[in-house]
């Protein structure tokens, strides 16, 4: 799947203006229909406890298989859904589907959902959240919302109000793609984020790049002192895992452990126990 997405991206680079226009138009038309026709699917990717190897949470990731165009990545269709004013309906659908899935899993595994900045400005969000929790019986503490730093560009105060409302309901909040946006450390002071998710671009560089290693270690220290959980995203190799461990991260997520998979597969993985990869800490690092 990754390969196919990659090829789509590579070729779309050379598209003419007319081809782009047609593509956006087809995506728009398709999106209007997709919510009703089961073309949208959610997959789930484990977020693994670095110490125990157990699954702490799973991130819900949208997938869309267009009947003609084939798989379209959320990176492409989410911005289009936003510009069409469809993101609220889509977020509502994701919330409900994700809570249904999480409620079916054994134990206390949390569900993490991506919330786009446009959704966070909408006063429908807290109501949608409460409706999904009531309908599925999922406790609020098992629902985590992932937001990116770009939400802080909105200075209307609306985002602020809604974030606090969500925290009052008892949800967890995660700051996603940390370090790539309009990072200002003052956000970490005004909002109590439960989790920092360090962008995968930093993890991609740790094996070859001393600067990336220094940044990742600094973020690890900062988060620990502020008592936040830390997720290293995009862990693909044992060496990256080692660096996440060395930087003191609490959690890891990436292809090394699992690609995004179905809810049924997650239930099996939870029942099976600790995931490979996290189980084999480097003895040298572990001694510290």
Residues that bind Mg ion (CB under 5 A): 49, 56, 114, 146, 176-177
Instruction: In angstroms, give the least distance from the CB of 115 to ligand C2E.
Output: 6
Instruction: In angstroms, give the least distance from the CB of 197 to ligand C2E.
Output: 7
CA distance 92 to 115: 10
Instruction: In angstroms, give the least distance from the CB of 234 to ligand C2E.
Output: 4
94 binds ligand C2E (CB under 6 A): yes
97 binds, among Mg ion, ligand C2E, none (CB under 5 to 8 A by kind): none
CA distance 7 to 29: 23
CA distance 126 to 121: 11
- Cα separations in angstroms, 197 against 20, 21, 202, 233: 32, 34, 11, 7
CA distance 288 to 285: 6
Among the listed residues 30, 179, 234, 277, the single contact to ligand C2E using CB under 6 A: 234
88 binds ligand C2E (CB under 6 A): no
240 binds ligand C2E (CB under 6 A): no
Instruction: In angstroms, give the least distance from the CB of 260 to ligand C2E.
Output: 5
Closer CB to ligand C2E, residue 144 or residue 177? 177
Closer CB to ligand C2E, residue 106 or residue 279? 279
Please choose, out of 60-68, 133-141, 188-196, 216-224, the segment that lies near ligand C2E by the rule CB under 6 A.
60-68
61 binds ligand C2E (CB under 6 A): yes
Closer CB to ligand C2E, residue 44 or residue 105? 44
62 binds ligand C2E (CB under 6 A): yes
49 binds, among Mg ion, ligand C2E, none (CB under 5 to 8 A by kind): Mg ion
224's tokens: 């620990």
Output the residue with the shortest Cβ distance to ligand C2E. Answer: 254
Q: Map residues 8-47 to x or -, x wherever contact with ligand C2E holds by CB under 6 A.
A: -------------------------------------x--
4 binds ligand C2E (CB under 6 A): no
75 binds ligand C2E (CB under 6 A): yes
Q: Which residues bind ligand C2E (CB under 6 A)?
A: 45, 60-62, 73-75, 78, 94, 114-116, 146, 176-177, 200, 233-236, 254-255, 260
């Amino acid at each position: 799947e990754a390969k196919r997405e990659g090829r789509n991206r590579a070729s779309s680079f050379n598209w003419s203006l007319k081809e782009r226009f047609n593509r956006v138009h087809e995506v728009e038309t398709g999106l209007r229909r997709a919510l009703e026709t089961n073309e949208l699917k959610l997959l789930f990717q484990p977020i693994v406890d670095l110490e125990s190897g157990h699954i702490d949470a799973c991130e819900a990731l949208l997938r869309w298989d267009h009947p003609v165009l084939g798989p379209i990545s959320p990176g492409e269709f989410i911005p289009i859904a936003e510009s069409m004013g469809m993101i609220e309906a889509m977020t509502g659908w994701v919330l409900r589907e994700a809570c249904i899935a999480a409620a079916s899993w054994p134990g206390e595994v949390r569900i993490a959902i991506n919330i786009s900045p446009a959704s966070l400005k909408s006063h429908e969000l807290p109501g949608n959240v409460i409706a999904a929790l009531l309908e599925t019986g999922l406790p609020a503490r098992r629902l985590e919302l992932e937001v990116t730093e770009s939400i802080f560009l909105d200075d209307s105060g609306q985002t602020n109000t809604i974030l606090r409302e969500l925290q009052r309901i008892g949800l967890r909040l995660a700051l996603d793609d940390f370090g790539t946006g309009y990072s200002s450390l003052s956000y970490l002071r005004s909002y109590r984020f439960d989790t920092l998710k360090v962008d995968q671009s930093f993890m991609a560089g740790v094996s070859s790049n001393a600067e990336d290693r220094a940044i990742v270690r600094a973020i690890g220290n900062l988060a620990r002192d502020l008592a936040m959980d830390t997720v290293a995203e995009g862990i693909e190799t044992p060496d990256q895992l080692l660096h996440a461990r060395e930087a003191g991260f609490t959690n890891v997520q990436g292809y090394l452990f699992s690609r995004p998979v179905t809810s049924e597969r997650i239930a099996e993985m939870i029942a099976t126990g600790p995931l490979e990869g996290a189980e084999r800490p480097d003895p040298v690092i572990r001694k510290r």
